[in-house]
Amino acid sequence: MAGAKKVISLRSSCKEEAIDITDLVNQVIKGSGIKEGICFLFVPHTTAALFVNEGYDPSVVKDILSSLSKLVPAEGNYAHLEGNSPAHIKSSLMGVSLLLPIEGGKLSLGRWQSVFFVEFDGPRQREVWAWLL
């Protein structure tokens, strides 16, 4: 019922980064021929996440990342010894699973919305999995 899994490959270039994947997801939808439906995105990583917010002014995403770093400081009394506990915590707060509408053969988003993959422990090679329903 979920159709075939499509894998979107990404390379993050620094420790923390929000990558606008709207166009990449739209390419997957275009390739499928689906006009109306739902797009299910899943990130198979524990130190990255997905979110939807403004893609027009890059300072919005900058503020989101810096706010998260105030909420979950890089230095703290963390039990996990790999040094990336803040990345795990931020990933859990933002979430790795996202459902998005498709209309007219592409993502149906609000005027200012973009879909972001957010890296919290890069740089790394990453994947976003997509299913079109």
| Interface residues toward a second copy, by CB under 8 A | 1-2, 5, 36-38, 40, 42-46, 51-54, 57, 59-60, 62-64, 66-67, 71-72, 76, 78-82, 85, 88-89, 91-103, 108-113, 129, 131, 133
Helix locations, the chain, DSSP H:
22-32, 58-71, 85-94
CB of 28 to a second copy, least distance (A): 15
C-beta atoms surrounding 59 within 10 Å: 9
CA distance 70 to 72: 6
CB of 119 to a second copy, least distance (A): 14
CB of 108 to a second copy, least distance (A): 8
CA distance 21 to 4: 19
In the complex with a second copy, the residue whose CB is nearer, 10 or 72, is 72
CA distance 122 to 87: 10
- Joined tokens for residue 50: 């997905």
In the complex with a second copy, the residue whose CB is nearer, 31 or 44, is 44
In the complex with a second copy, the residue whose CB is nearer, 37 or 105, is 37
In the complex with a second copy, the residue whose CB is nearer, 13 or 92, is 92
In the complex with a second copy, the residue whose CB is nearer, 31 or 38, is 38
DSSP state, residue 82: T
CB of 117 to a second copy, least distance (A): 13
Cβ-Cβ contacts under 8 Å for 44 (sequence gap 6 or more) = 96, 127, 129
